[in-house]
Chain A
Amino acid sequence: MLAKRIIPCLDVDHGKVKKGINFKNLVDVGSPVEIAAEYELQGADELVFLDITATLDQRKTMAETVEEVSKQVFMPLTVGGGIKSEEAMHELLQSGADKISLNSAAINDPELITDGAERFGSQCIVCAIDVKKDVGTGRYQVYSKGGTENTGLDAIKWAKKAVELGAGELLVTSMDCDGTKQGFDIDLYQQIGEAVHVPIIASGGAGKKEDFLDVFQKTPVTGALAASLFHFGELKIEELKKYLEENGVNVRR
């Protein structure tokens, strides 16, 4: 049986790992290679690198960082942030990335998902979706450009479309929960899990080990992502996995 995945997310800016609270107020927490190696030791199952400011600043992504990390860390690496072309995907995959995460660019140009999937395989293409609940209607809406712009797209519909276009995995971030440490948005992942038949990674809101158990028990997500919780050592992955295993969740140990 496949193990549920614990995935630290490294928000990278100018080659340094950062973590924003609700995508703002960045705090430097160090070198990508060192952090990645530490996470490998701790038992992380995958790593996600997000060039969080790339879309805003129209900057190129971080092939060099990926190259360095993949020389020393031997687990699946997903890279996202500011990737707008097949060529950029190719460059990052050549540098050592295993998967490419598309966010704003896929919203602007949905065919980018298909182009990437056809050329590199669906297993390489992750569609990242930043979601916020509309207070009035209770509907989940998709935000783009680092969570700054409401696209008006319905999150469940967009998730389905992304999968139809060829995305092999979805990385769904609840902006409402992100940084709050109050737990994952269970309702969101139940809805998306019913809508699509690909692996889903839950992101946003993890504050304690019980939150991970909750999302794995109540929703079909196969991975859970967190950043500051792990970066600041508030929760050790080893300890988290032990807890999950004791509570019947299949994890890699």
Chain B
Amino acid sequence: MIVAVDYGAGNLANVLKAFRYLDEEVSASSSPTTIRQADGIILPGVGAFGSAMDELKKRRLNQVLYEEAKAGKPLLGICLGMQLLFDESDEFGVHEGLHLIPGRVEAFPKDIDLLVPQMGWNQNVVNNEQSIFADVLDGSYTYFVHSYYAKCDQQYVVSYTNYGVKVPSCVEFKNVYGMQFHPEKSGEKGLEMLERFIERVDE
């Protein structure tokens, strides 16, 4: 079973609906035991990095997520949930992340004339052809809502999207995956990507 981490940071409902639409058994939980028993973990998230980490720590889930991921369990972070996978973020002061993918999270550069947040459909360019998501991402548009973006070594970048700067839109390090966009809001392509994650969990 897949468990979506329920830690009071953002709306889980639509992520759950997408998995249920795909006939996948999924539940939302904040229980360390349930999360440890899951076959795969989804880390959603909307809001600010620091407060999301605080909510995880309050429930001691940062440790659970770290250990489960290091033990090889498939983990997918979505939107802010992807950003939390990195070492740290600049959002409202420097905050430490989960250290599951090397890299940091920064604001869009101020010297580029951009609407922030990036909100809308943007196109993905594949960087890692080997990824389980590569062929679905290739050239496809997905739905983004974010004000900060990840900076990491390109070996972790599955795909980029261009928003004044090259924004890693999908990242991957072993069994840890992250999507800056909302697959649950990205139509058929988004559902296909969730399907790929389900297949990965079922392996």
CB distance from B46 to the nearest CB of A (A): 7
What is the interface size of chain B, counting residues whose CB is below 8 A from a CB of the partner? 29
Question: Would you call A5 and B121 a contact (CB within 8 A)?
Answer: yes
Asked whether B102 is an interface residue with its Cβ less than 8 Å from the other chain, the reply is: no
Question: Would you call A72 and B21 a contact (CB within 8 A)?
Answer: yes
Question: Would you call B11 and A2 a contact (CB within 8 A)?
Answer: no
Asked whether B163 is an interface residue with its Cβ less than 8 Å from the other chain, the reply is: yes
Question: Would you call B186 and A74 a contact (CB within 8 A)?
Answer: yes
Question: Would you call B21 and A74 a contact (CB within 8 A)?
Answer: yes
Chain B residues whose C-beta falls within 8 Å of the C-beta of A5 in the assembled complex = 120-121
What is the CA–CA distance of A93 and B121 in the complex, to the nearest angstrom? 20
What is the CA–CA distance of A1 and B17 in the complex, to the nearest angstrom? 29
What is the CA–CA distance of A79 and B77 in the complex, to the nearest angstrom? 27
Q: Mark A1-37, 1 if CB is under 8 A from B, else 0.
A: 1110100000000000000000000000000000000
Question: Would you call A71 and B184 a contact (CB within 8 A)?
Answer: no
Within 8 A of B (CB), among A56-95: 70-72, 74-76, 93-95
Q: Mark A90-120, 1 if CB is under 8 A from B, else 0.
A: 0001111010000000000000000000000
Question: Would you call B115 and A121 a contact (CB within 8 A)?
Answer: no
Chain B residues whose C-beta falls within 8 Å of the C-beta of A96 in the assembled complex = 13-14, 17
**Given known A76-B185, A93-B11, contact A71–B119 (CB-CB < 8 A):** no
The number of A-B residue pairs with CB atoms under 8 Å apart is: 74
Question: Would you call B117 and A3 a contact (CB within 8 A)?
Answer: no
CB distance from B4 to the nearest CB of A (A): 15
Question: Would you call B120 and A2 a contact (CB within 8 A)?
Answer: yes
Asked whether B122 is an interface residue with its Cβ less than 8 Å from the other chain, the reply is: yes
Asked whether B74 is an interface residue with its Cβ less than 8 Å from the other chain, the reply is: no
What is the interface size of chain A, counting residues whose CB is below 8 A from a CB of the partner? 28
What is the CA–CA distance of A123 and B21 in the complex, to the nearest angstrom? 26
Within 8 A of A (CB), among B123-166: 123, 141, 143, 145, 162-163
What is the CA–CA distance of A93 and B10 in the complex, to the nearest angstrom? 10
Question: Would you call A168 and B117 a contact (CB within 8 A)?
Answer: yes
Asked whether B72 is an interface residue with its Cβ less than 8 Å from the other chain, the reply is: no
Q: Mark B23-60, 1 if CB is under 8 A from A, else 0.
A: 00000000000000000000000110000000000000
**Given known A94-B11, A96-B17, contact A168–B119 (CB-CB < 8 A):** yes
Asked whether B190 is an interface residue with its Cβ less than 8 Å from the other chain, the reply is: yes
- With a 10 A CB-CB cut-off, give which of B21, B117, B119, B188 has the most chain A CB atoms: B119
Chain A residues whose C-beta falls within 8 Å of the C-beta of B47 in the assembled complex = 121
Chain B residue at smallest Cβ distance from A252:
B141
Asked whether B175 is an interface residue with its Cβ less than 8 Å from the other chain, the reply is: no
Chain B residues whose C-beta falls within 8 Å of the C-beta of A139 in the assembled complex = none
What is the CA–CA distance of A24 and B124 in the complex, to the nearest angstrom? 43
Chain B residue at smallest Cβ distance from A40:
B187
Further contacts, 12 of them, CB under 8 A, given A40-B188, A95-B13: A3-B120, A3-B122, A40-B187, A45-B121, A74-B18, A74-B21, A74-B190, A75-B187, A76-B143, A98-B185, A121-B46, A252-B123
Chain B residues at the A interface, C-beta cutoff of 8 Å: 11, 13-14, 17-18, 20-21, 46-47, 115, 117-123, 141, 143, 145, 162-163, 184-188, 190-191
